[in-house]
Structure 1
């Protein structure tokens, strides 16, 4: 069905397009009788104004761009839901773009957001070193407020909200060591991403206190399917680890599926511990011990920082760098090794 335009209404009534425009926008220059007739005809014909065009005339689009790595996991879904809840009642709408952890796609999505004239961007960037110049251009050339969340890009001086990755990994490793584990494997998030690099670096700080091997360190690419295969490869080795640390909740789902396929008993045959929580960690038998992030707080704080930047565009403030504490949750997926 063809979209009804002001020209269609003008042709039907035999008036000028400018008269229709003035009547529908509430501006003077048309009689009360003609205005009522134009408004009534517009409703009958199913006319709807272009929201972007209307916004641009007012000098604002009330649109916020959001860049996230994927759409399938619960973590980013909760973050975005919290952002939307914070921004919606103030009249802002979200334009959601997935990058699939592909820096080229990320660059295209950033350009799309710029072309859509978003008023601000909330981004969980792909790699810690990719698209640095483009993100800088967003801030410096296009003057679009930018806030990173969960991940950052090195060399881009802007606000961010992240979890304390190092403290989270420290809690995991010290817990496993206290339970007698020394042979520990790690399926880490995608290399090159901020979370992947930070969590792997924190794990490797314990290399002198544990036994780990190259074949026990696997890149799970931050997704369920790679982590599934990585776990099977680790457990296929002749000398298996006693515990596997999984670097995010979506990868944990893949690991749990793989363990079930291999008919491995948790924690009797292998202990599993996850960086981040999800509903499946609680309902799985046994429930999975983990470090829990707070995606709702990440979303709320990132959105609040962006709103402050939008209100104070002319004022140059020092970027806010928020690092949120994580919470260790002990459940039943790690056994104690004695002797």
Structure 2
């Protein structure tokens, strides 16, 4: 039979002399339909070949072939790179994406998650908002065996697979560079408290301070330029001896650099600055920002592959494999730090 581009469930029903409801139930495998009728329906479905009509395929396999992705900030090129990685693997496997941003707001994040579930997505990839503390909804999804994967910002308590970077070692490498270039008073502009990746970077900084015999100086701020500008001004006015700043993100570093310049200080001659993420614009700053690079695209691809495997596992309620995949960071030395003292 010739393939039609406009075949509908009603067309199948009319050809077989049954109701649309019967066709729908037969496609879904409902036991309300006799084996003989189901066989006729499925035979015609195959003859008409609904592919690439996703609606038919979705009904046949009880899948929407749509996935949800929730990240904190789409303006952040790090998350943009993660999404590109996710999209590459999703496309190869016939999935579409619905992308939401929480704006680092836990209330908005919860609303996004509920909306995606209502849209019957087959799975989720989530980077937690910095303000998220209540995990009850995510725990309920896990209890229902709904497949989702955490990326960048993990939480071991949820018992789901995670794709992360080694933030502790990255924090150590950033801090170590500042001391190795001759800085004697290194401060850390840390991310939000209780955000796991920010905490790990802070712990890496503190470890290096201990190794070099210096007291840590930590100031917490949000992952944005305006707040870090204000916090850096306060820091340098209170501690003018600071000659090195490790910022927990490139966005924090940008605000810090502007604050340093506004006080008439030079970078890196008076104050060295190093960031974390290697955002797209970081190499174009003046001076170009030394930073810690994260393999965002690879992380996105891995998260999508893990989600595909998790969705397969979720079909078997006895399978519950939660794995943690940790990527290493890379130090990118540019002009916002001095040369290492040999």
TM range (shorter): 0.7 to 0.9
Aligned residues: CA RMSD: 2.7
* Structure-2 residue corresponding to 1:22: 10
Report Cα offsets for 1:31-68 as digits up to 9, x if no partner: xxxxxxxxxxxxxxxxxxxx997676442111111111
Report Cα offsets for 1:138-183 as digits up to 9, x if no partner: 1222x32111000112411010010000111111122222222220
* Structure-2 residue corresponding to 1:7: none
* Structure-1 residue corresponding to 2:271: 270
Report Cα offsets for 1:78-105 as digits up to 9, x if no partner: 1011111210232211111212222222
> Is the Cα contact below 8 Å between 1:130 and 1:153 reproduced in 2?
no
**What TM-score do the two structures reach when normalised by structure 2?**
0.78
From the superposition, tell whether residues 128 and 261 of structure 1 become closer, same or farther in structure 2 (CA, over 3 Å).
closer
From the superposition, tell whether residues 188 and 302 of structure 1 become closer, same or farther in structure 2 (CA, over 3 Å).
same
1:114 aligns with 2:117: yes
Q: Secondary structure at the match of 1:266?
A: coil
- Gap runs ≥5 in structure 1: 1-18, 31-50
* Structure-1 residue corresponding to 2:143: 140
1:203 aligns with 2:205: yes
Farther off after superposition, 106-115 or 204-213: 204-213
Shift of 1:26: 8.3
Distance 1:282 1:244 in 2: 18
Shift of 1:203: 1.7
Farther off after superposition, 263-272 or 162-171: 263-272
* Aligned 1:315-330 pairs, distance under 5 A: 315=316, 316-330=319-333
- Gap runs ≥5 in structure 2: 1-6, 18-52
Q: Secondary structure at the match of 2:155?
A: coil
1:158 aligns with 2:160: yes
> Is the Cα contact below 8 Å between 1:185 and 1:212 reproduced in 2?
no
> Is the Cα contact below 8 Å between 2:76 and 2:279 reproduced in 1?
no
1:102 aligns with 2:108: no
Distance 1:129 1:121 in 2: 17
